[in-house]
Amino acid sequence: MMAYAAITGWLTLSLPIVLAAAAPAVGWRFLGQLGAATALGMGAMGSALGIGAAGQAAAGAWAKEARAGRRLSFTYIILVGAPISQTLYAMIVMNNMSAACADAEQSVSNAGMLLAIGLATGLGEMLSAWMQGLIGAAGIRALSDSEGQGFAFILIALGIVETVGIFTMVFVLGMIPTV
C-alpha cells in the first residue's frame, strides 16, 4: 500500500513536468506542419485569384464576341487555366515538407526553416499565379480587340511569370531537410 501511494504520488508530481517538457516539441513540430499547409494554401489562393481575373476578362470578351455575331474564342480557356499550375508546384513542395515533418526530431530541429520554406513557397506561387492571371486577363482583352492577333506573345509573357513559380518550387525543394 505504501509503494502504491509512493508511485501515484510520484506520477502525480512528475506527469505535469513530463507533459510540459513535451509541449515545446509539439509546438515546434506544429510550426513545420503549418509551413507545409501554408505553402499549399497560399499557392491555391494565388491560382484562384489569377483564374478569377482571367475568367472575368474571358466572360466579357465572349459577351462582346457574341454581340458582334463572331465565333466565341476557345483560346481564352488556355489563358484562364494557366494559373492552376502554381497550386501543383505548391503541392509538390508541401508533400516533400510533410515527409520532413513526419520525422519528429527532424521537424522539431528544423521547425523555423520549414515554416520559412512554407511562407516563401506560398508567396512565390501565390504572386506568380496571380500575376499570370492578370497577364491572361490583359491578353484576353487584347486578343478580343485584335481578333486573335498576338497570341504567341501573350503565351511568352505567361511563360516568363510561370518560370518564377517553377524557380520557387525548385529552389525551395533544395532547402527542405532530408530524412
C-alpha cell at 6: 509512493
The label of the residue with cell 466565341 reads 72
pTM given for the model: 0.81
Q: List pLDDT tens digits, range 111-143.
A: 889 999 999 999 999 999 999 999 999 999 999
Please give the single-letter amino acid code of residue 44: A
In a domain, 110, yes or no: yes
List the CATH number of the domain containing 160.
1.20.120.610
Domain count, the chain: 1
C-alpha cell at 155: 503565351
Crossing angle of helices 85-102 and 2-67, in 10° steps, is 170
In a domain, 6, yes or no: no
In a domain, 142, yes or no: yes
In a domain, 10, yes or no: no
Give yes or no for residue 10 having a pLDDT over 50. Answer: no
- Quote the domain boundaries for residue 113: 30-173
